[in-house]
Amino acid sequence: MLILGIESSCDETAAAVLRDGRTVLSNVINSQVAVHSPYGGVVPELASRKHLENIYPVVEAALSQAGVTLDDIDGLAVTQGPGLVGALLVGLSFAKGLSAVKGIPYVGVDHIVGHLLSPFLEKEHPEFPYIALVASGGHSSIFLVIDHTTIRPLGRTRDDAAGEAFDKVGKILGLEYPGGPVISRLAEKGNPAAIPFPRAWLGPDSLDFSFSGLKTAVANYVHQRRQKNEPVDIPDVCASFQEAVVEVLCKKVIMAAQQQGISTIALAGGVAANSRLRSTLKDLGASHNIKIFMPSRELCTDNAAMIALAGFYHFSKKATTSFDTDAYSRSPLLHPGFAPNGSSPASLEPRLES
């Protein structure tokens, strides 16, 4: 089975071809970093316009690199949400058009489910059930993944996501966008214990996250130093901030595994590419006898291979999506009472266990 995946939830236009749910034949990503960098963040209207420009050539490149044509494709999988609705509609409308013209069935895929399943694109992958931490620019959440479509949310961010905090702190420090990779690089030269930035634990058993206060603490520290004409050691600030984020993410996901009695953790999402997070979680996992799985860095960020994989499991259950289905900005994974568009087939909704 050949699946063409399409992703356009934020600022990457991506397409990929996946064979039999295991072999990635192509994975093309067109980033919009240069477009949004002058603004220090993603501008939704600009993102949508760039997706319109990029969607056709990116899909064409994915098919070409895979050595296939649309006539060879058995199914289309496209991100339906969550994300920027305008951006999502570009990919979703494009998939609907291909489906209507070529007669290829399509499924709408939840972006978070794509991240949760991304470790299965690697040779070594977790067995069910496992605990998953999705840390990205839009999400910081912990899930119990029971099978490919049955997922139980255990904790989520109450305000800023981890990646969002990285970008905002990068802007405070006057660093280039996106802030995550730059902060990670500068942190290697700094002292992670130099500045005692706060950790928001939110209670002894809470698996929720909060990074807004940490971001404010960094802003206050930098502002006060500059008011007093005192130097700001950027690498120390980066290292201390990063350590605060990493410590909370790692300790909470380890605690989730212990609470559920599960000895397997998967890490996913854009922030999962952070070297300090990866090494710290591996060390903690080893000390607690917990196996840690994480996709390669290129599969951590938004990509279409993970969307194609999620679509593969929908198609394996004979599921398809109707043409009247719309994009959605919120995920039913994190908002159990939310029904995307009110018309999505129940078979396509991730099964939530209370």
Tell me the C-alpha distance between 140 and 193, whole Å: 24
What is the chain's mean pLDDT, rounded?
Answer: 93
What residues form DSSP beta bridges with 77? 5, 107
The CATH homologous superfamily for domain 124-294 is: ATPase, nucleotide binding domain (3.30.420.40)
Which CATH fold topology does 2-116+300-352 show? Nucleotidyltransferase; domain 5 (3.30.420)
Report helix, strand or coil for 295: coil
pLDDT at 299: 93
Rounded to 5 degrees, what angle do the CA atoms 240, 197, 300 make?
Answer: 55
Reduced to 3 states (helix: H, G, I; strand: E, B; else coil), residue 141 is: strand
Per-residue model confidence (pLDDT) at position 333: 86
Tokens 């093309």 identify what position?
28
Q: What are the respective helix, strand and coil percentages of the chain, to the nearest 5?
A: 45, 20, 35
Backbone phi, then psi, for 32, in 5-degree steps?
Answer: -110, 20
Helices (H), ranges, 175-233: 179-187, 212-227
What pLDDT does 339 receive? 59
Say yes or no: do domains 2-116+300-352 and 124-294 share a fold.
yes
β-sheet with 75-81: strand ranges across: 23-31, 12-19, 2-7, 75-81, 106-110
E-only strand ranges, the chain: 2-7, 12-19, 23-31, 75-81, 106-110, 130-135, 140-145, 150-156, 264-268, 291-293, 351-352
pLDDT tens for 321-339 read: 889 999 999 998 887 666 5
Q: What span, in angstroms and rounded, lies between the C-alpha atoms of 92 and 196?
A: 45
Beta-carbon contacts of residue 150 (< 8 Å; ≥ 6 apart): 350, 351, 353
In this predicted structure, the answer to whether residue 122 has a pLDDT above a threshold of 70 is yes
Mean pLDDT along residues 298-320: 93
Query: What are the tens digits of pLDDT across the range 206-255?
Result: 999 999 999 999 999 999 999 999 999 999 999 999 999 999 999 999 99
Q: What is the DSSP letter of 41?
A: S
pLDDT in tens, 96-105: 999 999 999 9
DSSP-based three-state secondary structure for 281:
helix
Whether 133 shows a pLDDT value over 60: the answer reads yes
Contacts of residue 40, Cβ cutoff 8 Å, sequence gap at least 6? 167, 171, 177
| Domain ranges, ordered by start, for the chain | 2-116+300-352, 124-294
> According to the model, what pLDDT value does residue 340 have?
60
Q: Which residues pair with 144 in a beta bridge?
A: 131, 152
Contact 91, 8 (CB under 8 A): yes
Distance CA 56, CA 51 (A): 9
Backbone φ/ψ region at 44: left (φ over 0), alpha (ψ -120 to 50), beta: alpha
